[in-house]
Structures are given as C-alpha cells and as structure tokens.
Amino acid sequence: MILLAVGLTAFAASTARGQLPPRTHRTRADPRRAAPFLPAVQPSGLGSPVDCVIVTPDSLADIYQRLADYQTRVGIATVVRNLSTVRAADPRSNDVAQAVRSFLKAAHDLWGTRWAVLAGDHEAIPMRYARVLFSETTDIPSDAYYSDLDGTWDGNGNGIYGEVGDSLDMNPDIAVGRLSATTRADAQVLVAKAIHYATSPAAGALTKELILAEVLFPTDWQPGQLVSVDGAISAESLKVRAPSCTAVDRYYENYTRYPGSLALTKPAALSALGRGYGIVHHIGHGARSQLSIGNQVISLSELATLANGDSVGLWISSNCASAAADYECVGEEVVRNPSGGALAYVGATRDACLWRGRRPRSDGDISRPSCSAAPRFRSGPAPRVRSRSRGPRAWR
C-alpha cells in the first residue's frame, strides 16, 4: 500500500498496524530563552534535533523549503535535504534508494527524526521493489523500505529485496509519506494545498464523508442477479464507525438492499466528488488509470476536471493499483489537481485482494476516522500495474 498525499505535520506509518517507537527523551530547553533552530547539514549529534526530513531533487528544494519553514514554525522541526547532499553522505551506496534510506537511518539515530517526506516521484526517488510470494512470485514497489530501517532488506546479499529469507520485521521506525511531484508546478500545488489545509481548511468538508461502493463479483453484475462479493458490505461497516459529527453520503451499485443509500452511477459519483468531502472511500475495482463505477469507469482525464476547490480531503481506495505511481495513476492525478481533487490518497500499488479460487478476500483494513481537523497525511506514489478489463468494468 502507498500513501499519496500532501505533506503536513505528521504522516501515516508504513504498515497497517505498526506503531512508531516512543520518542527519545530530549533535554527540556530553558523556557526563558528561545533557542535557534540550527541543525547540522548531515545527521549529527551536534546542533538541533530534527523531527522531519524532506528529501527532494535539487531542482525542487526551494519549493519544499516553504513547507519546512511552516512546519518548523508550528513546532515540528523540519529540514529539506536535496539528493546531492543525500548521495554525498553515502557515496558507496548502490543506488539512490539505498542512499536515501541510509540518510534517513542516520537522521533517525542521530537527529531523533520521526517523519520523512519523499518529495519527488518514483523516477527521482525510487520505491524499492520487494519480492512477494503471492499466487505467483512478483516484485511490488513500496516506500516501506524507507520506513522499516532494520537490516538491509537484502540480508542474503543476492540483490533481491524483501524476500522471506531477508528477515524483515516490517515495523516502522519512522513514518514515511511521499509528495509525488514531477515538475515545479506539481510541487507548488502540493505545498499550497498542504499549507492551506493546515491553516484554513474548508470547514464544511471536514464533517462530510463519501462512500462509493460497487458489486465486485460477478464483475458483470446486473440488478436482480445474485451477488458474490458486494463492496456495500464493507461500506456499511465504515458507516457505523463514522463519528457522530460526520454526515455520510453513500452511493452503492446494489443500493436497493441498503435503505438511505443512493444509486451508484458515473454522473452521480463525479457530481459528489466535485462537491468535496473530508474523507472519500472507493470500494470496488480499479487500475492505475481508472476507478470502476458499476458498469462504467472514471478516467484520469475526468478526475483532472474535478473542481471542488478548497474542499479537499483524504481519499482511501480499497481497489487495485490506483496508486501505481511508477505510472501516471489515479492517486497522483487527484493530489496534483490545482482546482481540487484530494489532499491525500491511500491506495494499493498492486493487487489489493487475495483470491481463493474465484472469490476474493479483502486483506486490508481502514482505521476509524476522526473528527479532528488536524492535517496528518501526505502524498506519495505507487507501483506499476498491468490492469485487465472485462467489458466496461475495470478489475485486477
């Protein structure tokens, strides 16, 4: 799973259930004196401690400095370090990914860093492809490589990362997210969204939640047919967990079974997304370039037209591959949208369901949302996905 979002005060941990270790004790400053923030260029026991590190290509560093300055002002000591500085700290590293991870480990050990922002797309700061034994052996890209800092992820030294024999503990040592910007314009949009949401969010959207859920199987389902797997079942479990302060709008393909829900159609979904919600859930099929809405799909070009303005929030997609950021993907499209879209995006970089024969079993869980308006999520990319289609419905 990959988190794509805009960088703010704190970032989601890389594992569903993992918790960051407790913060190490720091000597309390004299409250009568304002200590300047003077971190060393490289991680060091000298100088100021650093809570958050933003790693970025040299060409984008000045843009992300604005975000770092804001976070430092509100009490989260943040530095920007460009890739030239990061590579210089570990010139013997095999590749950029190893150099970045080495830098973050040093920051964690010497600065006490708890959060990291990978402020570049997959081409600039690559995800690490980890070997997974699924229905077939496959390599899945993930930013968890930068969060679980124990070992090397290649314990047997064969150049294949994340194997069972590499003995990963998969517990996050720092929380990592990604600002998946390719251009300076992308970066400016992400930083502007982050700071605006942190300082003056659209109040109306904060207490609104949207759930879009389709029938997953059979993939060519029509009303009146038997349902094998209905996304509305998961949606209803989210509805009852929503805080009492939240109004939940539900659009289901099998809506007649659930009183109070509305019919899920492409026009209805686009209209709702254009209004803006604090949290948006999509439960259904997906691919890197589209979201499935019943017997139709919403494409990247259509997502680019969303104009919900400042009413942006967190999108959580329980689908396949929509955060495949080593391609142009849904997650990147909506967080980069300067006219609205999303503040942050949580989605999968590969298949998100486990098949037992022909019947899938969801292997993800979504944490209970909170009424807090505190900006907590950041943007990041996801991996390559070869999507299939069956009729008009996208599936993985």
Average pLDDT, the chain: 86
Residue written as token pair 């939640």: 209
Residue 293 inside a domain? The answer is yes
Phi and psi torsions of 64, nearest 5° = -75, -15
Structure tokens at 115: 């959060």
> Of 123-127, 220-224, 363-367, which gets the smallest average pLDDT?
363-367
- The domain boundary, picked from 110, 125, 140, lies at 125
- Please give the residue range of the domain that contains residue 388: 201-395
Do 233 and 84 fall into the same domain?
Answer: no
Distance separating alpha carbons of residues 241 and 236, to the nearest angstrom: 9
Do 10 and 112 fall into the same domain?
Answer: yes
Structure tokens at 258: 């659930």
* Mean pLDDT on 215-233: 96
pLDDT at residue 353 greater than cutoff 90: no
Do 206 and 113 fall into the same domain?
Answer: no
Do 372 and 287 fall into the same domain?
Answer: yes
The answer to whether 125 and 324 are in contact (CB under 8 A) is no
Do 342 and 244 fall into the same domain?
Answer: yes
Do 300 and 214 fall into the same domain?
Answer: yes
Distance separating alpha carbons of residues 51 and 245, to the nearest angstrom: 32
Strands, DSSP E only, in 172-304?
Answer: 175-178, 208-213, 215-217, 229-230, 247-252, 262-263, 279-283, 286-287, 290-293, 296-299
| CATH label of the domain that carries residue 72 | 3.40.50
Angstrom CA distances, 264 to 251, 261, 282, 334, 342, stand at: 5, 9, 11, 20, 20
Do 118 and 228 fall into the same domain?
Answer: no
Do 233 and 380 fall into the same domain?
Answer: yes
pLDDT at res. 371 = 33
pLDDT at res. 10 = 35
pLDDT at residue 238 greater than cutoff 90: yes
| Helix residue ranges per DSSP H, 124-220 | 184-199, 203-206
Do 243 and 377 fall into the same domain?
Answer: yes
Residue 307 inside a domain? The answer is yes
pLDDT at res. 176 = 96
Return all residues near 273 (Cβ < 8 A) that are at least 6 apart.
210, 280, 306, 308
Per residue in 14-66, pLDDT (tens digit) is 444 567 777 766 655 555 556 789 999 999 999 999 999 999 999 999 999 99
Residue 309 inside a domain? The answer is yes
Residue written as token pair 């969204």: 193
- The side-by-side arrangement of strands in the sheet containing 286-287 is 286-287, 290-293, 296-299
The CA-CA-CA angle for residues 210, 254, 332, to 5°, reads 40
- The domain boundary, picked from 100, 125, 150, lies at 125
Residue 150 inside a domain? The answer is no
Do 225 and 358 fall into the same domain?
Answer: yes
Per residue in 63-100, pLDDT (tens digit) is 999 999 999 999 999 999 999 999 999 999 999 999 99
Residue 177 inside a domain? The answer is no
- The domain boundary, picked from 125, 140, 168, lies at 125
Do 106 and 212 fall into the same domain?
Answer: no
Task: Please report the DSSP string for 231-242 in residue order.
Answer: HHHHHHHHHHHS
Q: pTM, whole model, 2 decimals? A: 0.84
Distance separating alpha carbons of residues 64 and 383, to the nearest angstrom: 24
